[in-house]
Every structure is written in C-alpha cells, then in structure tokens.
Amino acid sequence: MARDIIIVSSAYGYEKIQQLGGQSEVLGIVKKSGAEGIEIRRELFSEQDLQTLPQLSEKIKSSQLSCFYSVPYPLNYLIDSGFEAIIFITESLTGVGTRQERVNTFKKIVKQQKGIVGEVVEIEDMNQQTELLDQHIVSFCQKCRGMRKAIVTVNGSVTLHVSLALKRLNIIWGKDIGLLSFDDPVWASVAGVGITTLRQPTYKIGYSSFEMLHRRMQGDHSEAKEYLYPGELIIRDSTN
C-alpha cells in the first residue's frame, strides 16, 4: 500500500508541518518512506532544507509540479520599454534550480539582443552582505551612466533587500532606475511608486498538485508529469 505525506497550509484545514515533527524529521521520513506524493508549503522550510528537495524528488515516483516563470516575457517587456542596461540580482544559486534557470535564460536573452547590457550579480548572504549589494548597484549605475537602467530580482526576498539598498543609496525606482521582481510580494503595490512583478498562479499550482496527489492515493501509477504554468506580469510605475 502506498504511503503519502501531505504538507499543506493549515488555512485549508490540513495539518501543519510542525505538527508532523519539524523540518528535519519530515524530510527524514519522506526519504525513507517511499512516499508517492508530497505537497510543500515553502515558507515552513529553511533554505537549506529546500535545497535538499531536488535530490529528494529523484527518489519519489510521482507527478511533480513546477511553476514556469516565463523569463523572456518580463525581460522582453523591459527591452521593449526602452531599458538598455539590466542587472539581474540573485541569492546563492547553489542547489536551487529555479534561480539557475532564470539566470541562464537571462544571459541567453541578453546575448541575443544587440545593444543591451546585461549583468548578473550573485550575493551569497543578503542579510550579511548589504555593503556588497550596495557596491554592485553603484558600480552598475556608474558603468551604465546615461543609459536607461533596470534591476531584475530573482524573488521577493531579494526584492526587499534591493529596495532597502536603493533607499540607502538614495536611488528612486521608477525615476532613477527600473525595478522588476520575479515574485509578487503583498507589499509590491504600495512600496514607493509600486514595483512591477511576475505573479505566480498559486491557486492553479495548489489545485493541480493536490489533484495529482489524490490520483496517486487512488492508485494511479502513471509516469511522472510536470505541469508548467506561466506567471502574470503586473506592470507598475517602477518600470514606467
């Protein structure tokens, strides 16, 4: 009989991960259990635990769900809007496939575009390396003086750190520089003039993942599948 572990939001009446014994214990259980399906509430895991999930998923014969962040769409939007220099700022790429995928796609698009300056900055620890982040932003602005510039952030956490850095540096997004985030934190619409974001289709992801898990529990032994969903570009004044 297949064993399944469900880790979902308590807002919908399901059990919280803490009630299952904590992060490390749950990951240990999953690794040993031969679970058919897993649904994960991301914010309940530490970054280190999340980085173990790609290896873990290789041992689980179940349908997997991936949110497809349509990188070309927002980048082409920036280019079409007249931005000539774009810096992509990310946290550590080690063990995090989605970040690496976004960086690779960014580099590919910039390489294909004539006259577009592109730069990637990887900050290992955003909390401890604020000065390094400031230095990279200042250097980018100096090198691209006279060009229309934009910052692209890999996720909401980096967006927060970058927005704080811009405030420290007295650089105003929407006026002095563009800002676009590959995530849509709740505060993006009210921070400054607003921040252009790529919103995840979280309802579709959650609904589809639960459907797949339920089918597994009912005895579905079909091959693993991957469902890709495009994000929705929310344009705000940070890129106008």
Tell me, yes or no, whether 81 and 190 share the same domain. Answer: yes
DSSP conformation letters of 175-191: TTBEEEESS--TTTTTS
Tell me, yes or no, whether 102 and 122 share the same domain. Answer: yes
Tell me, yes or no, whether 142 and 89 share the same domain. Answer: yes
Is the pTM higher than 0.85? no
Q: Looking at residue 176, which CATH number applies to its domain?
A: 3.40.50.2300
Tell me, yes or no, whether 92 and 207 share the same domain. Answer: no
Contacts of 143 by beta carbon, 8 Å cutoff, 6+ apart: 85, 117
Tell me, yes or no, whether 193 and 204 share the same domain. Answer: no
* Structural tokens at position 46: 């530490």
In a domain, 97, yes or no: yes
Q: How many residues does the chain have?
A: 240
Q: How many domains does the chain have?
A: 2
pLDDT at 212: 74
Residue 65's closest CA among 43, 39, 91?
Answer: 39
Tell me, yes or no, whether 162 and 79 share the same domain. Answer: yes
Q: Per residue of the chain (240 residues), what is the pLDDT tens digit?
A: 333 344 443 333 434 344 444 445 555 555 554 544 455 554 444 444 444 444 444 444 433 334 444 678 899 999 999 999 999 999 988 766 778 888 888 899 999 888 999 999 999 999 899 999 999 999 999 999 999 999 999 889 999 999 999 999 999 999 999 999 988 999 999 999 999 998 877 777 777 777 777 777 777 777 766 667 777 899 999 998
Element (H, E) at 88: strand 85-90
In a domain, 4, yes or no: no
Where in the sequence is the domain holding 29, given as residue range(s)? 10-67+200-231
Tell me, yes or no, whether 56 and 121 share the same domain. Answer: no
If you compute the radius of gyration of the chain from its CA atoms, what whole number of angstroms results? Answer: 20
- Express each pLDDT in 70-100 by its tens digit: 678 899 999 999 999 999 999 988 766 778 8
Tell me, yes or no, whether 124 and 180 share the same domain. Answer: yes
Contacts of 126 by beta carbon, 8 Å cutoff, 6+ apart: 91, 133, 157, 158, 161
Contact present, 227 and 66 (Cβ < 8 Å): yes
